Amino acid sequence: MRHRRRAVAADPEKKAGRPWIAPRDLWTEAVAGVLARPLRSALTTLGTVLGIGTLVITIGVASTAAHQIVGRFNALTATSVTVEVPPPASDTVPLVDWEGIAAVDRLAGVESSAALAQTDELAAVQVRTNDVVTPGGLSGQTLAVAAASPSLPAAVRGDVTAGRFYDGGDIARHARVAVLGDQAARLLGITEVNDSPAVFFNGHSFTVIGILGGFKREQRLSTSVILPPTTARDRLGLGTVNRVLINTSLGAAQQVARQSPVALTPNSAKALTVLAPPDLSKARKGVQGDVNSLFLVLGLVSLIVGAIGIANVTLVTVMERVGEIGLRRALGASRRQIAGQFLMESTTIGLLGGVIGAALGTVVVVSVSAVKDWTPVLDGRLALGAPVVGAVVGLLAGVYPSLRASRMEPVEALRAPS
C-alpha cells in the first residue's frame, strides 16, 4: 500500500495531469476579455488600423499607378522613336533625303515611318479657303504648313477621315494638292472634299484632297496643312527633312533607335538626335520606388505607434484584472496559460486592426482608382497578408504585459478585488 502511494508521490504530474486548456476555450476567454471593454478595444485597434491602412493604400496606389504608367508606355511611348535632323550648313546637301526612310523601313522591328519637313517661317501662315467670304476682307486662319512622306497616316497612327492621302503619283507629278489636319479643316470649315475645296496661302492655291485625324503622336500636325514634298519644295522652298517618325514593334524601340541614324545617313549618323522611350522595366521600378518609400516609412511608424498603443492598453488591462489572474491561477491556470490568454487578447486586437485597416485601405485604393479612371491593382497577398501583419504586431505588443501577468503570485493577485 505505502509503496504504491510513494510511487504516486514521486510523480505527481501523472496523478494531476499537466495544466491544460482546450484551444477553443483559450479563444473564447480571449474574445470575452476583448469584448469586456468594447470601446477601449476599438480605440486600441486605431493605431494598427492606421498603420495597416497606410501600407495597403501606399502599396496599392503605387502598383496601380505604376501599372497605369507602364500601360501607357506599352500602348504608345514604348514603340515611338523620333529622329531629329539638324539643318544643313548652307549650300551643302541635306543630311537626310526623302527616300532615306526606305532604309529605315527595312530595319527589323520597324512597323512604319515617315519623314517630315517643318520650318519656323511656315509655322504660322494665313490660310484662306475659296468659299469663305468674310466682310472686311480679313478671312482665313493662322495655320502651320508641313511637308511629309505619303506614309504619314500610318506613322502618326491617324485615320484619313475624308478623301484620301496623297500618294507617290501625286508626288511624282508635283501635284498642287494638300491634306488638312482635322483641326485645321474644322477651323477652315471644310468637312468633306468631294467638291474639291481649295486653300490659299503665300500666293498659291492647293486642292484639298483629304483630311487626316486621330493623331496618336505629332499632334500639332492636326492644325497643319500637309503638302507632298515635291510640291512643297517647288512652291514654298520647304524641302529639307528635319524629323523622321518611326514606329516599332513592342520591345524593338531601343534597337531601332540605335540603328536608324546609320540607316538614314551612313556618313554623318552622329549628327542626328534620336528620341527613344526609356527602358520599360526601369520606368516601372522608378515609379514604384518614388511613391513607396516615404509612405512605407509612414505606415511602419504608424504600426510601431499602434504596437505601443496595444502594449500600453494591454498592460493597463492586466493591472485592472489582477484579481481575475489570481482566480484563474486558483482554478488551475498555469503561468503559461495566463500569458497565453493575454497574448491571445492582444493578438486579437492586432488582427482586428489589420482586418479593418486592410478593408479601409482597399476601399481607398479602389476609390482613388475610380476617381482617376485607373484599373485598381490589388495584390491578393497584400490583402491577406495585412491582417497577419496586424496579428503579429498585436502578438509582439502583448509579450511584455503577458509576462507581467504570468509572473504574478496567486496569493498576491487574489488580494486584489475582481
Partner 1 sequence: MTGPLAPGDIPDEGDVIKLIGVHRTFDSDPPVHALRDVNLTVRRGEHLSIVGPSGSGKSTLLNTLGLLDSPSSGDYWLDGVRTGALTDRQRTALRGSSIGFVFQSFHLLPYRTVEENVMLAEIYRRPRPGRARRSRAERARAALDRVGLSHRHGFRPDRLSGGERQRVAIARALMSEPALLLCDEPTGNLDSENTLSVLDLFDQLGAQGMTLVVITHDEAVSRRATKRVRIHDGQLSQEYA
User: What are the residues binding partner 1 (CB under 8 A)?
Assistant: 1-2, 5, 8-9, 12-13, 15-22, 24-25, 29, 32-33, 35-37, 323-324, 326-335, 337, 410-411, 414, 417-418
Cell 500637309 sits at which residue? 226
Least spacing, CB of residue 22 vs partner 1, in Å: 7
Whose CA is closest to 162, among 176, 177, 180?
180
Cell 501625286 sits at which residue? 170
Least spacing, CB of residue 327 vs partner 1, in Å: 4
Angle among Cα 70, 76, 78 to the nearest 5 degrees reads 60
Residue 19 DSSP class: -
Which of 1/133 has CB closer to partner 1?
1
Which of 13/373 has CB closer to partner 1?
13
Whose CA is closest to 342, among 9, 17, 34?
34
- Spatial distance between the Cα atoms of 329 and 338, rounded to a whole number of angstroms: 8
Which of 20/195 has CB closer to partner 1?
20
The answer to whether the beta carbons of residues 283 and 145 sit under 8 Å apart is no
Which of 36/359 has CB closer to partner 1?
36
- Determine the distance from the C-alpha atom of residue 118 to the mean position of all C-alpha atoms in its chain, rounded to a whole number: 35
Least spacing, CB of residue 349 vs partner 1, in Å: 16
Least spacing, CB of residue 394 vs partner 1, in Å: 20
Whose CA is closest to 299, among 42, 56, 63?
56
Whose CA is closest to 21, among 327, 324, 318, 333?
333
Could you tell me whether strands 110-118 and 80-84 are parallel, antiparallel, or unpaired per DSSP bridges? unpaired
Least spacing, CB of residue 411 vs partner 1, in Å: 5
The answer to whether the beta carbons of residues 234 and 174 sit under 8 Å apart is yes
Least spacing, CB of residue 305 vs partner 1, in Å: 28
CB-based contacts of 80, cutoff 8 Å, min separation 6: 217, 245, 246, 247, 248, 253, 277
Least spacing, CB of residue 368 vs partner 1, in Å: 41
Which of 2/270 has CB closer to partner 1?
2
Which of 327/368 has CB closer to partner 1?
327
- Spatial distance between the Cα atoms of 157 and 93, rounded to a whole number of angstroms: 30
Which of 258/415 has CB closer to partner 1?
415
- Spatial distance between the Cα atoms of 397 and 343, rounded to a whole number of angstroms: 8
**Grid coordinates standing for 260?**
536608324
Which of 15/270 has CB closer to partner 1?
15
Least spacing, CB of residue 46 vs partner 1, in Å: 22
